[in-house]
Structure 1
């Protein structure tokens, strides 16, 4: 097993070298010749230094993403292969006979180990954002968010693992089906409480301070037949210089949220376009479609995870120190498989998201009719976040939930052309 882990580390290192070569030397991020000199060309709205910083920052962040995902897999595999998971299970069972407390102890120790091993990469990502002036967050504030992340994830993981392994122990063959059935109301409940319970742990949310702007946004919402009473503002300027707005939650707890950085750096007509875009998500019920899609993927994910776990344990269980699936020591294997499945379907999930974002762009243009504000808002989003206008294809495939800035501005130029004809 130590040799296998050694080979896994060697393959990971080679993968990192190959990915670095692809992202930093091989990938072509230039603008197609037909769009040179247009509003889609970063040379028309970014200074030469901003173009250089944008390229460097995007390359570094993309590289970190592609090395951190398999690094997580390596951590889970190492915890299993080196017998750490088995030791944690033994310690938990010796400490208490109650299954719930065994899970609580095991999940806590495993979470600490994973956090300790992954925190350095997270810190590097944070330092890069600070170095390129994207993040304005002090180290103390960043550590506070990491600590909140740890305990929020711990509570959720403890609850899920307790239910999951309780079902595996009682229904060895059909546990995945019952787990999926329970995940449906849990997913809906979590989406319902996230805007009012989870999100406020990280930032302060309050009704939009600019009442004149809020009145215009609510008038726009009326035209779209949206029964909105408030637009929410969040104080992100203490953490970042990037711009954003989003729609979150379901039912009566749905919220349209604007970052205060967006309000400070965009003109009123640009903010109205961004709001119209978010209203498009609401009108076309993208949040509900997202929840439905997640429920469907969870069904197939648990089905495949059940099959893979049984197969792996039957073939390599002795090497991984796992006797049965019901052993809590098998949790890293479950997490590894789920992570692999999530990564494998991410191109499909991202493609659906990009389709919805494009539909929201179209809706916003139909509602506001202001293509100039739309173009300038996308340009300012690029400038604030140092985003690549035309990222490498593999980056778009695995990372982009929105169309690229090139695609969005080109679409707007086609709209402008059709209007002028």
Structure 2
């Protein structure tokens, strides 16, 4: 890549990275609410039944090795495909029946590389399923599990094909300015996915029915109205077809926003605890967490594209990958390797951001309902039903936890009840 392209791409990368950092600093509630002191967490731990604590730690110990191995194997596969000629040879082989056509290499070769990178972790996903079945959290047989895996691959293939065709179409149409259009397109794609995911992707995996008219539906809609959060509907997801875990969420932005409650939560929890879970989720909508996440995700996507353009001038890296140019379809595996490394390195920060947003939503739920006692009992019920590790080791918590621990959340409710 010429210096005329690399230098402006580096400037854009630096500017966008600074904007991303500034947005993260400004938009994320880093200090409020404060994390409860360890003494309060230990007191909350003492409130929980010993059997719940032990079961959660046992389940986590069974799940973690497979998760870590899947992460390691997935990263190794991405690096082998991207930092050796192996990936470029796969791309070339996929394009050969079509005379080496650029679009065939880009779409078919890219999907082949992506599928191979996912297939190497499939045994660990199967291992995870066996553990979920053993502990009674999964209600799926192997046939249902395989259908979900196939659906996931199909969604990835459709989205991947569109993204690959668009990216390599841009590099052909604008060989000098492709990175500007690609960065813009990547950011817009993140925004588009936030809008369409609830109405196009979620129904692929679950069926949603409007919650039947009754006291609970009325209470949830009144809760949203009192909170000033417009929602289109209250839906019930058939989560029980694959899990006994309980949850609820508010998804979508603007016209696609709706409250979704797992049918398992309706079966397991009293109405006041269901309302508390929804109040927490309304907190995310009230404070714009979905919008903030979308903005940060869009900026991150644009930064990544500009960074790839800068790396496109690293001829040694391209030679190692067996590609002549970063805009060649033969470099697809290298691009995926870069994205994999960026994703792994940024995961702890993403989880930290998520935990702060979740803490704010917890405080919002307690304030909205005025009932810290129900919040604490709801957290215990969630931990019991989902077999959560209520107080994970600090390093694993810092690296991998996207939510505050159960003891942190119960402690926060107790501090709030005491006027802290």
Please say whether Structure 1 and Structure 2 have the same fold, judged by a TM-score greater than 0.5. yes
**Equivalent residue number for residue 114 of structure 1:** 117
Structure 1 range deviating more: 391-400 or 260-269 = 391-400
Instruction: State the Cα deviation string for residues 365-396 of structure 1 (Å, max 9, x = none).
Output: 11111111100110011111111111122322
Q: Which residue of 2 aligns with 1:76?
A: 78
Task: Tell me what 1:194 maps to.
Answer: 197
How far has the Cα of 1:417 moved from its partner?
A: 1.5
More relative contact order, 1 or 2 (CA 8 Å, 6+ apart): 2
CA displacement at 1:32 relative to structure 2:
5.7
Residue of structure 1 in register with 2:417 after alignment = 416
Q: For residue 172 of structure 1, report the CA deviation from its aligned partner.
A: 4.5
Of the three residues 260, 269, 278, the one matched with 2:272 is 269
Gaps of 5+ in 1: 1-30
| 1:406 paired to 2:407 | yes
1:171 positional shift? 4.0
Asked whether the equivalents of residues 165 and 326 of structure 1 are also in contact (C-alpha less than 8 Å), the reply is: yes
What's the TM-score, normalizing by structure 1? 0.85
TM-score (norm 2): 0.85
Greater shift, 68-77 or 409-418, is seen at 68-77
Deviation of 1:141 (Å)? 0.7
- Aligned pair count? 383
Please report the RMSD computed on the Cα atoms of aligned residues, expressed in angstroms.
Answer: 2.2
State the partner residue of 1:237: 240
Offset from partner CA, 1:271-328 (integer Å, 9 cap, x none): 11111111111111111111111111112222223323432xx124334322222221
Given that 1:305 and 1:338 are in contact with CA atoms closer than 8 Å, whether structure 2 keeps it comes out as no
Q: How far apart in 2 are the matches of 1:382 and 1:411?
A: 16
Q: Aligned pair 1:62/2:59, yes or no?
A: no
SS in 2 for 1:201: helix
Change in Cα spacing, 1:229 to 1:337, as seen in structure 2 (3 Å) is closer
In the alignment, the residues of structure 2 paired with residue 290 and residue 33 of structure 1 have an alpha-carbon distance, to the nearest angstrom, of 32
Q: Is the 8 A contact 2:110 2:329 kept in 1?
A: no
Moved runs in structure 1, 4+ residues, more than 6 A?
Answer: none
Alpha-carbon shift at residue 82 of structure 1 (Å): 5.8
Structure 2 stretches of 5 or more lacking a match? 1-36
Match of 1:233, SS state, is: strand
8 A contact 2:244–2:385 mirrored in 1:
yes
Cα contact 1:389–1:404 (8 A) shared by 2: yes
1:88 matched to 2:113: no
More moved, 287-296 vs 184-193 = 184-193
Task: Check conservation: 2:60, 2:388, Cα contact below 8 A.
Answer: yes
Alpha-carbon distance between aligned partners in 2 of 1:232 and 1:154, rounded to the nearest angstrom: 28
Q: Which residue of 1 aligns with 2:53?
A: 51
The answer to whether the 8 Å contact 2:279/2:365 transfers is yes
- 1:381 is matched with which residue? 382
Q: How does 1:80-159 map to 2 (within 5 A)?
A: 80=82, 83-97=85-99, 98-159=101-162
CA distance in 2, matches of 1:81, 1:285: 40
Cα separation, 2, equivalents of 1:89 and 1:280: 46
TM superposition shift of 1:33 = 6.3
Structure 2 residue matching 1:352: 3-state secondary structure: helix
CA pair 123-352 structure 1, distance change in 2 beyond 3 A? same
Instruction: State whether structure 2 residue 288 is matched by structure 1 residue 285.
Output: yes
* Shift of residue 189, structure 1, vs aligned partner: 2.0
* Structure 1 residue aligned with 2:337: 336
Q: Please state whether the residue corresponding to 1:258 is helix, strand or coil.
A: strand
